[in-house]
A and B are shown apart, each in its own frame.
Chain A
Amino acid sequence: MGSLKSLSLGAMLMLTCASFAQADAIKLEGGKETNLVLLPKFLGILVFDQANEGAQEAHKELANPGELLFVGPTPENSVAGQIEIMTTSATQGQGAVMLSNNAGDQIVPAAEAAKAAGTKIVTWDSPIPSGNGEDVFVAQVDFGSIGTVMADMAHSILGGKGEMAVLSATPDAANQNAWIASMQEALKGAKYADIKLVDVVYGDDQAEVSYNRALSLVDQHPNLGLIMSPTTVGIQASAKAMQDEGLCDKVKVSGLGLPSEMVSYTMNGCAPEFALWDFRDLGYLTYFTAYGMATGQLKGEIGESFHAGRMGDYTIEADPGREGAKRILMGPFTVYNKGNVEAAAK
């Protein structure tokens, strides 16, 4: 019930924001010089590269004479590397750092120091859990609605009845835990009464660990009908594991995945439905936010609206998931199935 209330509250908030936005959305003035840093969790992952493409697009569109740097740590050095880049950016006097946080609250001291030095901190994809040291979070989708979307996919795949388990990334990933919690909340609804969540395991966002975890789930729960994996690595490793062991007829896979990686599993029925948002759009919107803040055109206050190029108007609002923190909500989801996955995979 709580989720329904907060959902409808969120919807109302969005509506009021939308009406606000039409009234006085700030049109960002291009051509002002500011150096910006886009800092992903680590380099070499497709979705972060897509976010960079989106940011570069916005960078050109706003004709910023300054630099947009896409820098990130290597995978084995993610946490320490992020903190280091954050610190360096502050000493270099960058206008803003756009951060997909992988360092939990460990990044807070570095982010606060950067803020004190005049660098704006705009998070995207994964926020700073406590909200300290962060100016605003560009949320890909409403974290509460992810739970509902996952619960609905489970409902349609299981035909309304059966056992499911969650395969997540790491046990301390802030966004993953928020999504799982919101799905558990959504599952309390009467519609999902016959769906049972039997287990939550973690695959560390590594193919081999996730693959083995998925198989352990099947061994552990003989009546399992669905593995829900809200991570692009986990979902494809699970689908591969089910396919390799010839289990696709019995155990389906769903969650958040990339169409290009999931297309074969969706077409052969192992993963009939999954969802994701557009990372190019996320990068684009994040750039507009960071540019506006770094050039002083946006103050980062609740209720402030601005025009983000081709994507339309957005408003800064209180983050319902993190007390005292602010967010900009991008949304919506795309749910992929046999009908649209092939087109999206290209």
Chain B
Amino acid sequence: MSAIHPVAELYTDHHSWLHGWLRRKLGCTHRAADLAHDTFLRVLSTPKLDEIREPRAWLRTVAHGVMVNHLRRQDLERAYCEALAAQPESLAPSPEARALVLEALLQIDALLDGLPARVRSAFLLSQLEGLTYADIAGRLGVSLSMVKKYMLQAITHCMQIERP
């Protein structure tokens, strides 16, 4: 059996350094601890860890990605709050429901990542708002056949089908 797991070794050697690095970037020790934790969550899903030559430089890159995502999450959260504020108060969801929706939004956002804006809009109008293609065509100002093309592109992307 392996005497030591690469992740556990990285953790032992570099966790407190990483926490310090994030704290200097964010100016908040609690948030730095959260993001250091998230960085290690990513590390856990990295194959071939033992091939990494410069662990600190590499950890810094991973942590930077985590930080950028964190800011994007804040963005999406703010956009969702603003959208909720524009709604009648009677429709306001409970804090639990909001948290669940936000989590789903983040995942949808990640799933659709890389799609052109119009393809993304068409897919969301169809799957989220339940619009027919004729309505979507009207909303986006494109032809019906274009909507079908967008939809096919989006679902192919979401199903992660390899290009033949």
Q: A and B: real partners?
A: no
A residues near B (Cβ < 8 Å) are: none
